[in-house]
């Protein structure tokens, strides 16, 4: 909510010029989706999986971008507090003390912008189609990342 305020954008409304970069896949991710209306399907939400409580708000029209991060997350000396104490602190502390804000420049390649699929190639190993330049080149041949770098899954062969 603070990030949207800093961007001068209305909450809970879709803004076609807004892209958010999420660095965490925990509860904060759902909060960001709810107040920005940005979604992966619209390509307006980019999940970076950095494991950090931070999000960048990027205005595609103006190039303006701010990165908002949890000021407490980086404090190593943080004393243990209960959930109730934490909620109380969040309610009572001004947003500018809860968060660090940095003005940043975003590098977003064209194929990652919203809109129709830019290009696609067929993987030279598995033959599956890979869109939006998510492939890699090995010896001049296109490979999907699954074939090039190893995958999160293994195909189980049916025994007959």
- Total residues contacting Zn ion (rule CB under 5 A)? 5
Q: Is 142 in the site for Zn ion (CB under 5 A)?
A: no
List the one residue from 20, 32, 55, 147 that touches Zn ion (CB under 5 A).
147
- Cα dist. 95→25, 71, 98, 159 in Å? 22, 10, 5, 59
Q: Is 45 in the site for Zn ion (CB under 5 A)?
A: no
CB of 134 to Zn ion, least distance (A): 11
Report in angstroms how near the CB of residue 136 gets to Zn ion at its nearest: 10
- Least CB distance to Zn ion at residue 124 (A): 8
CB of 116 to Zn ion, least distance (A): 23
Interaction of residue 19 with Zn ion, rule CB under 5 A? no
Provide, rounded to whole angstroms, the least separation between the CB of residue 155 and Zn ion. Answer: 12
Which residue from 126, 138, 141, 151 is in contact with Zn ion, where contact means CB under 5 A? 126
Which residue in 125, 132, 133, 136 binds Zn ion (CB under 5 A)?
A: 125
Please, are residues 23 and 52 in contact by the beta-carbon 8 Å criterion? Answer: yes
* 8 A C-beta contact, residue 37 and residue 14: yes
Q: Which residues bind Zn ion (CB under 5 A)?
A: 123, 125-126, 144, 147
């Amino acid at each position: 909510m603070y990030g949207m305020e800093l961007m001068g954008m209305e909450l809970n409304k879709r803004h076609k010029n807004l892209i958010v970069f999420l660095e965490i896949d925990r509860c904060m991710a759902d909060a960001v989706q709810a107040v920005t209306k940005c979604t992966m399907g619209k390509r307006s939400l980019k999940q970076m999986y950095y494991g950090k409580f931070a999000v960048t708000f990027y205005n595609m029209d103006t190039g303006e971008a701010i990165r908002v991060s949890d000021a407490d997350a980086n404090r190593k000396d943080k004393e243990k507090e209960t959930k109730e104490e934490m909620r109380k602190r969040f309610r009572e502390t001004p947003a500018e003390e809860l968060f660090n804000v940095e003005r940043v420049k975003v590098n977003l390649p064209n194929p990652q912008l919203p809109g129709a699929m830019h290009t696609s190639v067929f993987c030279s190993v598995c033959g599956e189609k890979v869109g939006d330049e998510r492939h890699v080149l090995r010896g001049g041949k296109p490979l999907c990342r699954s074939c090039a770098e190893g995958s999160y899954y293994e195909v189980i062969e049916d025994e007959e």
